[in-house]
Amino acid sequence: MNLTAVRAIYRFEMARARRTLLQSVVSPVLSTSLYFVVFGGAIGSRISEIQGISYGAFIVPGLIMLMLLTQSVSNASFAIFFPKFSGTIYELLSAPISHFEIVLGYVGAAATKSIILGLLILATASLFVPLQIAHPLWMLLFLVLTAMTFSLLGFIIGIWADNFEKLQLVPLLVITPLTFLGGTFYSIDMLPPIWQTLTLANPVVYLVSGFRWSFFGISDVSLVASLGMILLFLGLCLAIVAWIFRTGYRIRP
C-alpha cells in the first residue's frame, strides 16, 4: 500500500478543514447546539422524560447522529467533487496510487472530521444535561461505522453529481428528512401502531436506535438489527464505489 499517497490526500483534506474552521467546525457545533436549546428547552418543558430518560438527554444521541450523517456526506462529497469539477482528478487517477488508496484518503479524512465534530457536540451537550454513557465502546463503534459509511455515500454522491445543485440534492431531500423522521427527537413507541410499522422501513431508525442504546441501554429496535443495518449499508456503499472505479462512471471521459 502506498501510505505516502494516502497520507498526502488525508493531510490535504484535514488542512482544508483547518483553513475553513468556521464553516467546518464552528457552524455545525453551533447549529446542533441551537437544535438542543430549542427542542430541549421548548419541548423538554412539556415532556419530562421518555422511557425514564430526561428529554434533554434523550435527544442528544439523535442530534449527534443528525450531524454525523449530514456532515459525513457533505465533507466527502465536496472533497471529491472539486477535483472532478476542476479536472485535477485525472492527475490523481494517473498517479501511482490505487483506487482503494484514493478512497481511503478521502473517506478517512471525511470520517475523521465527522467523528471529531460528534465528540465536540457530545462535550457541548454535557454542559446542558448530565450524560452517562452506558456502553462507551459500542458508542465509539457506532460513531466510527456511521461516519465511514456515510462518508462513502458522500464520496458516491460527489462522483455522481455534475453540478452544485445535485451535490446538495440527496443531503437536503433524502438524508435530512429521513433523520428527522428516524426517531431523532422522539421514540417510535410514541407513534400509532401503523406509523411504527412504516417507520421501521426508515434505515436511519436503526442507526439512531443503536447509538441511543450505547448511551442509555434502551432502544426502539434490537442491537443486532441496528448493527446489521449499518454493516449492510457499508457493504452496499463499498460495492458501489468498486463498481464506479471498475467502470469509470463519471470519472473518465
Residue whose C-alpha is closest to residue 106's, from 140, 47, 151 = 151
**What three-state secondary structure class fits 109?**
helix
- Per-residue pLDDT tens over the stretch 130-169: 888 999 999 999 999 999 999 999 999 999 998 888 888 8
Mean pLDDT of 73-93: 89
Q: What pLDDT sits at residue 109?
A: 95
Residue whose C-alpha is closest to residue 244's, from 155, 149, 163, 148 = 155
Cell of 238: 463499498
| CB within 8 Å of 131: residues ≥ 6 apart | 57, 60, 122, 125, 215
Q: What pLDDT sits at residue 207?
A: 94
DSSP states of 146-208: HHHHHHHHHHHHHHH-SSHHHHHHHIIIIIHHHHHTTTSSS-GGGS-HHHHHHHTT-HHHHHH
Q: What pLDDT sits at residue 41?
A: 65
- Per-residue pLDDT tens over the stretch 162-204: 888 888 888 888 898 898 889 888 899 888 889 888 899 999 9
CB distance 205 to 212 below 8 Å: no
Residue whose C-alpha is closest to residue 202's, from 236, 225, 218, 223 = 225
CA atoms within 13 A on the CB side of 178: 18
Long-range contacts of 167-176 (CB under 8 A, 24+ apart): 167/77, 167/78, 167/81, 170/73, 171/70, 171/73, 171/74, 171/77, 175/69, 175/70, 175/73, 175/150, 176/66, 176/70
- Per-residue pLDDT tens over the stretch 2-55: 899 999 999 999 988 887 776 777 778 788 777 777 776 666 667 778 888 888
pTM listed for this prediction: 0.92
The rounded distance, in Å, linking the Cα atoms of 52 and 151 is 34
Q: What pLDDT sits at residue 40?
A: 65
End-to-end CA distance of the chain: give it in Å, rounded: 27
**What three-state secondary structure class fits 140?**
helix
**What three-state secondary structure class fits 212?**
helix
